Amino acid sequence: MTTLTGCSQVHFGKDAVTIGSEKKESSQTKVKKAQSSSKKTVPKKKKVVKKKNTKKVTKKKTKAPKKKIVNKWDTAKTQKLQKAVNQWGKAMGQNYRFYDGKRVLKTKNGPTYPDVLKKNRFLLNKKVIKIGYSPLGKNNYQYNIVAIANEDFKSWHNTYLFCLMKNKPVILLDQSKNANPVIVKVVKDKELNKNFSKIYTEK
């Protein structure tokens, strides 16, 4: 420290100039204090972490109700048709035997059903048709046979093929003699068609 004489004691220090007994802060000290005051620590806010709901929400799967498959034809309808056909043929002295799905149906001097449906071609109005046995009425062919009825005579046969064509009842008649192709024609008998249509549309 340096002391000047002749003046009221002036002292030069490192951080302050002292005149007499008073002490003044230097500009550097003021800056340091200002800096220290500006560095006041602000308490940090605690982050509140929200807990996520970890419970899984399980959705119950609702099963769609199964649709009941309704067949267009069945054995019960075949039995009803057999009664109706034999009632119809009784007036003419005819008794028709129906194909039961097991034993083949032989015709007098004609083809054997249902084997002939796979072996021979069938003609209707001089045109080849796609025809086959479909006991449940499924649309597998152009003409889907749901029932076959046969009556033998002395030298010929009447074989009625009860078919569904585009879900509409159609009756075809075969009177062929072991021919290939088998020629059939549409039956126009009103009573027979009425009985077949009635049984087909029953639920």
pTM here is 0.68
List the domain range (segments joined by +) for residue 145: 75-201
Q: Do 102 and 182 sit in the same domain of this protein?
A: yes
Q: Is residue 41 part of a domain?
A: no
CB 194 within 8 A of CB 171: no
Q: Is residue 39 part of a domain?
A: no
One-letter amino acid identity for 148? I
- pLDDT tens track for 7-62: 445 555 555 555 555 444 555 555 455 555 555 555 565 665 565 555 566 666 66
Confidence of residue 116 (pLDDT cuts 50, 70, 90): very high
Q: Do 171 and 117 sit in the same domain of this protein?
A: yes
Q: Do 93 and 163 sit in the same domain of this protein?
A: yes
Q: What is the mean pLDDT of residues 127-139?
A: 97
Q: Is residue 20 part of a domain?
A: yes
Return the pLDDT at 28. Answer: 54
Answer with the residue of higher pLDDT: 49 or 203. Answer: 203
**Alpha carbons 140 and 142: distance in angstroms, whole number:** 7
Return the pLDDT at 203. Answer: 81
Residue 81 carries which DSSP code? H
